[in-house]
Amino acid sequence: MTPIGLAQIAVVLVAVIVAAIPLGGYIARVLAGERNLLTPALSPVERVFYRLAGVDSAREQSWLSYTMAMLAFSVVGFLSLYALQRLQASLPLDPQGFGGVPADLAFNTSISFVTNTNWQNYSGETTMSHLTQMLGLTVHNFVSAATGLAMAFALVRGLSRAESPTIGNFWVDLTRSTLYVLLPLSIIVALALVALGVPQTLQGSIEATALEGAKQTIAIGPIASQEAIKELGTNGGGFFNANSAHPFENPNALSNMLEIWALLVVPFATAFAFGRAVLDQRQGRVIAIAMMIVLVAGVLVAYWAEAGGNPLLTEIGVDPSPGNMEGKELRFGPAMSALFAAATTGTSCGAVNSMHDSFMPLGGLAPLFNMLMGSIAPGGVGAGLYGFLVLAIIAVFVAGLMVGRTPEYLGKKIEAREMKLAMLAVLIYPLSVLGFTAVSVMLQTGLASLNNAGPHGLSEILYAFASTTDNNGSAFAGLTGNTPWYNTTLGVAMLLGRFAFVIPVLAIAGAFAAKKKAPASVGAFPTHGPLFVGLLLGVIVILYLLQYFPALALGPIVEHFALLAGKTF
Amino acid sequence: MFSHLRPAIVMIVIFTALTGVIYPLAITGVAQLALPAQANGSLIERDGAIVGSTLIGQNFVSDRYFHGRPSATTGPDPADPSKSIDAPYNASNSMGSNLGPTSKKLVDRVNAAIEAEFDAGRIDVVAADAVTTSASGLDPHISPQFALAQAGAVAKARKLSETQVRALVDANTERRLLGVIGEPRVNLLLLNLALDRLQ
């Protein structure tokens, strides 16, 4: 680790927080339906949307109706994206003449984009036509993120309201999140990326004659517009196979910093927006601080592990001082690769600017553990906040047990029903991750996809199910995911991670909304100070370390010790 | 559920129009008008022909040029398109090796690269980037350390003085912005173009 590397990391994180505080205020105003900067320009557009869709924007929904609307939207989105991929050969804007996408791959990809995962079992430049990339994938980059933000605010309303039968209107939240938050930010970031060198053209490829005379076919396309929302919406689905490591997606150090900033800023802003929405900024600040502590811990572990180089290569004469450079781009180096890795897995983004599969064992453990914790530092757009609030509810409950009082969070009594729902949500993750991993390692078809042998092979499978369950989408990409087994099981994992988690969350929102709000009393456990941050972190560590330590011990941890002993596989 | 069907379908259609058509096309329009060089891939022309993009690495094997990092990209086998073979710097199929840190394949590959370059006397130190593949397989840069290590061999092949070649590397070295942002690097294509211009 070098002071320059640490300074690079600090610059990005400070820029994120500086922007997230005002953006949080803006998001809170947008989702409360208050007048804001863009109201004069956008409210006519918004009204057209509601009229066409037959939505009465003044009419709110119960939690069940809200959930049904969200599910209906997701099902329609899934079906249309599936059809688009299957039929792309007979549709326009396919300059490279790719055929239709096979059924199992189209199934996996459709779920992947609808659930905001963007796990990619395909290679963008050799599978998807420009039409599919634009009409299908870019659209879901927006609306799946907007859906996340909508659900987070449904929960926030549940916490801030008293004795209310409703938690908002899904169609209004969806429309406002897209129009007021994601679209304007994307336009700014996309144009900034073009200025920094990211291409934006409708051409399919460029033919060049390389200096030594060989022909070089360079794939290109409308990259900047997709890149911007890929980061801002914490989607992560790259235009190219190499994702943000590809020089066209991420040409230099500044574009790299902008992309990391873009993938962190909305989730952090959402934490501040929460504070504003519950009329106590301290509550939002506490969440943001806890998120930042988890994020920084992950960055430091990954940077430390990557900066020292690979001892097995040092031994045969490679200079270790630039760090472990296998699978890393020179222009980013180990510090910015480690920050990207921690940020993309701390959010549920999943874009990568280096190949996590080639990280050192403990360097790869950091992003893996980030996802096993459910990507809560700071989490996906919306998903981070509702994920963290579930943990806050559990933390308050644990505190209540310790002092022997009925636990309360923001004046809401936490009772058996809410606790059952919260535990149901957090237990889905290990069930999916560990269950599917266990079955995959027992099947020949599961093991045939491995790119690496030994403990690293287990890490590849564990990482895949952690990433999909968590709706992250990054990969230990050596694993060949485009097989019927993985296309199907990873697809199911993504469905469980999104819907089996969020339906209990929306039920909690409904239950809280209906409750009375108790006035603040001295007996209540304060949820806005350093003590609560400590408690939250303690609950997170205990909950997830206990669940996953055995699996991690067999994967990255044993690999670390094997490496120190000079063993290869 | 059915009452939600109309808004679900209508919303997908209008968001597709807005974010899938209008948004990318508007960005394309503005980018093509205001920033055409970047928007079209930062291409370099020499004598009227496109020789590549400053952002995309190319494969160099001749002794007369500086070499880039090893690349893990593959391409279809001309003999049997259903199979893929190694095709370094294939700019239509980016990928990394994805070999883990304890992979025997990785250690063997790096060993072979060291033999080919260092033991053959092409380089005089083994910089980390000289023997490792990048994440995209298209890394346009090499480290100044790797470039300088090749200076002697390139000078010999071109019958130039080593001082002259080292000066060229220096002139093509990009440093950190404000001393903090980015990593010191040399753009390989620009360096090799400058080398051609020397003669």
Report the C-alpha gap between A32 and B185 in whole angstroms. Answer: 48
Q: How many CB atoms lie within 10 A of CB B154?
A: 25
Amino acid at B183: E
Sorting pLDDT into bands at 50, 70 and 90, what band is A282? Answer: very high
Find, in chain A, the residue whose alpha carbon is nearest to that of B182. A253
Please indicate whether, in this complex, the C-beta atoms of A68 and B1 are within 8 angstroms of each other. yes
**Which pairs with CB-CB distance under 8 Å and at least 24 residues apart come from A179-182?**
A179/A42, A179/A45, A179/A46, A179/A49, A180/A30, A180/A36, A180/A38, A180/A42, A181/A26, A181/A27, A181/A30, A181/A146, A181/A149, A181/A266, A182/A142, A182/A145, A182/A146, A182/A229, A182/A232, A182/A233, A182/A266, A182/A381
Q: Token pair for residue B69?
A: 């990092």
Distance of CA B187 to the CA centre of its chain: 9
Q: What interface predicted TM-score (ipTM) does this complex get?
A: 0.96
Q: Is the separation of the CB atoms in B28 and A220 below 8 Å?
A: no
State the sign of the Cα–Cα–Cα–Cα dihedral A35, A39, A40, A45: negative
Please indicate whether, in this complex, the C-beta atoms of A206 and B43 are within 8 angstroms of each other. yes
Chain A: give the shortest CA distance to residue B163, in Å: 24
Find, in chain A, the residue whose alpha carbon is nearest to that of B143. A330
Residue A484 maps to a domain: yes
Amino acid at A568: T
- In order of A260, B137, B191, the CA distances from B182 in angstroms are 14, 19, 19
Chain B touched by A325 (CB under 8 Å): yes
Q: Dihedrals φ, ψ of B174, to 5°?
A: -95, 130
State the sign of the Cα–Cα–Cα–Cα dihedral B128, B130, B131, B135: positive
| Residues in A 158-177 with any Cβ partner in B closer than 8 A | 171, 174-175
For residue B77, what are the contacts with CB-CB under 8 A and spacing of at least 6?
Answer: B83, B84, B85
Average pLDDT over residues A285-308: 96
Find, in chain A, the residue whose alpha carbon is nearest to that of B1. A68
Chain B: give the shortest CA distance to residue A86, in Å: 18
Q: Which range, of A127-131, A168-172, A221-225, A484-488, averages the lowest pLDDT?
A: A127-131
Domain extent, residue A420, equals 390-564
Output the pLDDT for position A132.
87
Output the pLDDT for position A428.
93
Of B50, B134, B185, the CB nearest to A328: B134
Chain B touched by A454 (CB under 8 Å): yes
* Tens digits of residue pLDDT in A414-462: 999 999 999 999 999 999 999 999 999 999 999 999 999 999 999 999 9
Output the pLDDT for position A425.
92
For residue A212, which residues of chain B lie inside 8 Å, CB to CB? 58-62, 65
Nearest alpha-carbon partner for B192 in B152, B139, B134, B147? B147
* Tens digits of residue pLDDT in A109-130: 999 999 999 998 887 667 888 8
Chain A touched by B16 (CB under 8 Å): yes
Q: How many residues appear in chain B?
A: 199
For residue A427, what are the contacts with CB-CB under 8 A and spacing of at least 6?
Answer: none
Sorting pLDDT into bands at 50, 70 and 90, what band is B1? Answer: low
- Adjacent-strand bridge partners of A412: A409
Residue A223 maps to a domain: no
For residue A140, which residues of chain B lie inside 8 Å, CB to CB? none
Instruction: Say how many Å lie between the first and final Cα of chain B, rounded.
Output: 74
Find, in chain A, the residue whose alpha carbon is nearest to that of B10. A53
- Mean pLDDT score of chain A, rounded to an integer? 94
Find, in chain B, the residue whose alpha carbon is nearest to that of A243. B136
| Residues in A 383-422 with any Cβ partner in B closer than 8 A | none
Report the C-alpha gap between A569 and A85 in whole angstroms. Answer: 39
The string of DSSP letters for A314-382 reads: HTTT---TT---TTB-TTTHHHHHHHHHHHHHHTT----SB-GGGS-HHHHHHHHHHHHTTSTTTTSTT
Chain B: give the shortest CA distance to residue A354, in Å: 5
Chain B touched by A104 (CB under 8 Å): no
Residue A519 maps to a domain: yes
Chain A: give the shortest CA distance to residue B55, in Å: 6
* Tens digits of residue pLDDT in B125-178: 899 999 999 999 999 999 999 999 999 999 999 999 999 999 999 999 999 999
For residue B126, which residues of chain A lie inside 8 Å, CB to CB? 317-319
Please indicate whether, in this complex, the C-beta atoms of A318 and B128 are within 8 angstroms of each other. yes
Chain A touched by B116 (CB under 8 Å): no
Find, in chain B, the residue whose alpha carbon is nearest to that of A258. B181
Find, in chain A, the residue whose alpha carbon is nearest to that of B176. A253
Q: Is the separation of the CB atoms in A298 and A377 below 8 Å?
A: yes
Please indicate whether, in this complex, the C-beta atoms of A569 and B99 are within 8 angstroms of each other. no
Report the C-alpha gap between A401 and A195 in whole angstroms. Answer: 55
Please indicate whether, in this complex, the C-beta atoms of B92 and A125 are within 8 angstroms of each other. yes
- In order of A260, A473, A481, B121, the CA distances from A121 in angstroms are 23, 10, 5, 42
Output the pLDDT for position A128.
84
Q: Count structural domains, chain A.
A: 1
Q: Which range, of A85-99, A475-489, A524-538, B169-183, averages the lowest pLDDT?
A: A85-99
| R_g (Cα) of chain B, nearest Å | 22
Residue A457 maps to a domain: yes
Output the pLDDT for position B22.
95
Sorting pLDDT into bands at 50, 70 and 90, what band is A402? Answer: confident
Chain A: give the shortest CA distance to residue B87, in Å: 11
Report the C-alpha gap between A33 and A253 in whole angstroms. Answer: 38
Q: Which range, of A227-231, B80-84, B103-107, averages the lowest pLDDT?
A: B80-84
Nearest alpha-carbon partner for A326 in B184, B105, B118, B54? B105
Residue A379 maps to a domain: no
Residue A491 maps to a domain: yes
Segment (H or E) for A33? none
Task: Evaluate if residue A502 carries a pLDDT over 80.
Answer: yes
Sorting pLDDT into bands at 50, 70 and 90, what band is A327? Answer: very high
Share of chain A above pLDDT 90, in %: 85
Q: How many CB atoms lie within 10 A of CB A415?
A: 13
Please indicate whether, in this complex, the C-beta atoms of A134 and B57 are within 8 angstroms of each other. no
- Mean pLDDT score of chain B, rounded to an integer? 94
Residue A417 maps to a domain: yes
Query: pTM of the predicted model, to two decimals?
Result: 0.96
Q: Dihedrals φ, ψ of A359, to 5°?
A: -65, 160
Chain B touched by A313 (CB under 8 Å): yes
How many CB pairs below 8 Å do chains A and B form together?
376
Chain B touched by A476 (CB under 8 Å): yes
Report the C-alpha gap between A86 and A77 in whole angstroms. Answer: 14
Report the C-alpha gap between A187 and B31 in whole angstroms. Answer: 11
Environment class of A170 (CB within 10 Å of its CB; exposed 0-12, middle 13-18, buried 19+): buried
Of A198, A248, A451, the CB nearest to B98: A451
Average pLDDT over residues A132-140: 85
